[in-house]
Structure 1
Amino acid sequence: MTTRLKAACCAACLVLGSAARAQSDPEQKLPLWEIGVGGVALSTPSYPGAGQHETRVLVFPNIVYRGRVLRADRSGIAARLFRSDRVELDVGFAGALPSDSDDVDERQGMPDLGPLAEFGPRLKVKLADFGDHRSLRAELPLRAVIEARGGLHHRGTTFEPRLTYEIAGPQGLWSLEAMGSVVLGDRKINRHFYEVAPQFATSARPAYAADAGLVLSRLGLFGTRRVNQDLRVFGYLRYESYRGTANRASPLHVKDSGVSGGVGVLWTFKRSAARARGGESL
C-alpha cells in the first residue's frame, strides 16, 4: 500500500515485529503471545506526490503472537505456509486508515479514500547472515487491495520488492533496520489514487486517466530501544521519490519527493508463560 494510509497503520505494525525480533535470542524461547499498548506521533505526505503533509497521533494495541502457523507481527496478521532456515512463505492481511479528500487541496471535491485492507502472499528470503545479529533479507509481497467504503471494493494489486538490513544489540537492548523498496501498482490501484474523472475536472485539475507502473521508490530507517523489560521507544524516518513514476503527469502529482517520520512508545503489560515453538520470522 502506498499512501499515508499505510504509513499511519504500519508505523504501528512495524514496531511489533521489530521489537519482538530485537528481543530474540537463539538460546532463549520467547513468549507465545504478548499484549500491551503503544502510541506514535507521525508526519507523512497525504499521498505519494501530494503537496501537503499531515500529522497524526495514534494509540494502538500491541499484540504479538508467535504460533507455528498463525503469526501477528509488524506485517499484520499472517498464516505461515512454509519456513526453512532461509526461506519463509506466508499469506497475510494488513490494514490502513481512511483519508478525507477535503483535507487535501489537490483532491478538493473528489471522493474520499476509504479504509483499505491488503491480502496476499509474501515470500521472505534471508540473503546473508553476518553474525552478531546482523542479516540481510529480501521480501516479495504481492497484495490485493480492498477498500471498505459503501461496501467492499477491489481497488487493484500492489507489488513491493524490498531489501532490509537488520542489526540488533546484545540481549535485544536495541535494533536498527535500513530498508529500500519500490512499489509497483496495476492500473486499478493507480486509478484509485491518481485518476481524475471528467466530472471532477476543474480548470486547475484537468481530467486524467491513470496508468499501471511504478508508484514510488523508498528508503527508510527504523530503530527501537528497550528502556526496561516492558517498555520500548522507537522511531522511523522514510524518504520517498516519485520521479519517473507512471503517473507523474497526473494533476494530483504535485511533488517529486516526500519525507515522513515518527516517534513513539510501546508498553507490554501481559505475556504468556507458554513459550513459542514455531521459530521467529525471518
Structure 2
Amino acid sequence: MKALLLFLLLLALPAQAELKPRWELGMGVAAATLPDYRGSDEANEMLLPFPYAAYRFDWLKADRNGVRATLFDSDKVELNLSAGATPPVKSKNNQARQGMSDLKPMIEFGPSLDFKLWQSDNQDTRLDLRLPARAAFELREGMHYSGWLFSPRLNLDFLNVGLPEGWRVGLVTGPTFQDKHLNAYFYSVDEQYARADRPAYSASGGYTGWQFLGAVSRKFGKTWVGAYARWDTLKGAAFEDSPLVRRKTYFTAGIGVTWTLAQSSEMVEVGDD
C-alpha cells in the first residue's frame, strides 16, 4: 500500500507551466505486487480502485502530486503534505508471524519540506531534495499513534528525454529512519510469542534501509497512465536481526490508470504538476 501511495502521490512529475482545469473529478485503478511488510518473504498482488479528485487554489493544490501549499514566497522551497499507508496483515496467513497479533492497517501523514536544487534551462530536467517527516497511526477502533518516520529523498525528473513527446520519467532514492515505537510494532517479538525458530526480540529505532524508485507516466487526453518499479534493501537496518525479517532485499512494481470524468471550464496556470 505504501508503494501504491508513492506511485499515486509522486509519480506525476513536475513539468513546465501550463493551463489546467480549476477542478477535476474522475476514477482510477492501480495494481501492484507488494510484500506483507518490509522484510517479509511473502507478497500479495493488489488491485486498488480509487476516486480521483483535483482542486487548484492559488496557494493550495490537491492532485496526483499530492497536496501542496505555498506558505512563503520562494520558487526554490515548497512545503507539501506527505502521506503513506500500510495494509493489514493476518498473522495466520504469514509464516513468520503465525501465532502473533495481526498487523492493523496504518496511515502516515506529515509535512515535507522540498528544495529545488537544480533545473535545466529548458526546464525539462529537475533535481529536488525532499524531506518528508510523517506520524504513523494504527487504525484500531479509532486512530492510535504508532511512531514517526523520516525519509529524505533525492528526486530527479525528466520530461521528454529520450522518449516520445509527453512521457515523464522520475528517479527517487534515499534512506528511511523510524523511531523505536514504530519499529517495535513490526519487528519486535514479545516473550509470549517466542518459539524455537522465532526468539524474543526487541527492535530499536534508527536507520531502516534504503529505497530506489523509478517511474514513468503520460497523459493521453483525459486518461493518465503510469508505472513504477522499486528496489528496497534492509541491510544495516536497526531491526535487521529480527526473526521477522525473512528477506533483506526485494523488488516491487505496479501500474495505474486514471480517467477524468468531469472538469471545470475555468483554467488556471500550474507550473509544477
Shorter-chain TM-score above 0.5: yes
Per-residue displacement from partner, 1:38-83 (whole Å, max 9, x unpaired)?
A: 1122112221111112111111112222223433234644544335
- Decide whether the 8 Å contact of 1:78 with 1:92 is kept in 2: no
Alpha-carbon spacing, 1:160–1:40, altered in 2? closer, same or farther (3 Å): same
1:207 aligned residue: 200
Match of 2:102 in 1: 112
Match of 2:48 among 46, 58, 81: 58
Pick aligned residue for 2:2 from 3, 6, 20:
6
- Tell me how far apart the structure 2 counterparts of residues 172 and 115 of structure 1 sit (CA, whole Å): 40
How far did 1:247 drift? 0.7
Match of 1:266 in 2: 258
With the length of structure 2 as denominator, give the TM-score of the two structures. Answer: 0.90
What CA deviation, in whole Å up to 9, does each residue of 1:73-114 have, x standing for no partner?
A: 346445443352110113455444333323321112222222
1:219 and 2:212 correspond = yes
CA drift at 1:150 = 2.6
Q: Is the 8 A contact 2:82 2:132 kept in 1?
A: no
Q: Which residue of 2 aligns with 1:188?
A: 181
What amino acid maps onto 2:229 in structure 1?
Answer: L
Aligned partner of 2:138 in structure 1 is 147
Computed over aligned residues only, the root mean square deviation of the Cα atoms, in angstroms, reads 2.3
2-side partners of 1:94 and 1:258: how far apart? Answer: 19
Could you tell me whether the CA contact under 8 Å between 2:16 and 2:271 is conserved in 1?
A: no
Change (3 A) 1:113 1:83: farther
Kept in 1: contact 2:148–2:178 (CA 8 A)? yes
1:234 is the counterpart of 2:230: no
| Residues matched between the structures, number | 270
TM-fit CA distance, 1:260? 0.3
Tell me the SS of whatever aligns to 1:29: strand
Residue 160 (structure 2) pairs with residue 169 (structure 1) = yes
CA contact (8 A) 1:39 1:58 kept: yes
Q: 1:137 to 1:51 in 2, by over 3 A?
A: same
CA contact (8 A) 2:90 2:103 kept: yes
Partner residue, 1:121: 111
Listed as ranges, the gaps of 5+ residues in structure 1 are: none
Q: 1:43 aligns with which of 24, 33, 39?
A: 33
Q: Distance in 2 between matches of 1:95 and 1:204?
A: 30
What is the aligned partner in structure 1 of residue 120 from structure 2?
Answer: 130
Say if 1:92 and 1:71 are closer, same or farther in 2 by CA, change over 3 A.
farther
Distance 1:199 1:235, change over 3 A: same
Aligned partner of 2:7: which letter?
A
Matched, 1:247 2:239: yes
Tell me the distance in 2 between the aligned counterparts of 1:173 and 1:92.
26
TM-score, scaled relative to structure 1: 0.87
- Distance in 2 of aligned mates of 1:34 and 1:232: 13
Structure 1 residue 122, shift from structure 2 partner: 1.0
2-structure distance, mates of 1:69, 1:172: 30
Counterpart CA distance in 1 for 2:87 and 2:264 is 30
- The code of the aligned residue for 1:205 comes to R
In the aligned structure 2, how far is the partner of 1:126 from the partner of 1:111?
Answer: 43
**Post-superposition offset of 1:13:** 3.2
Structure 2 matches for 1:13-52, cutoff 5 A? 13-15=9-11, 17-18=12-13, 21=14, 24-26=15-17, 28-52=18-42
- Tell me if the contact between 1:93 and 1:117 (Cα under 8 Å) persists in the aligned partners: yes
Unaligned runs of 5+ in 2: none
1:83/1:249 CA distance change after superposition, 3 Å: farther
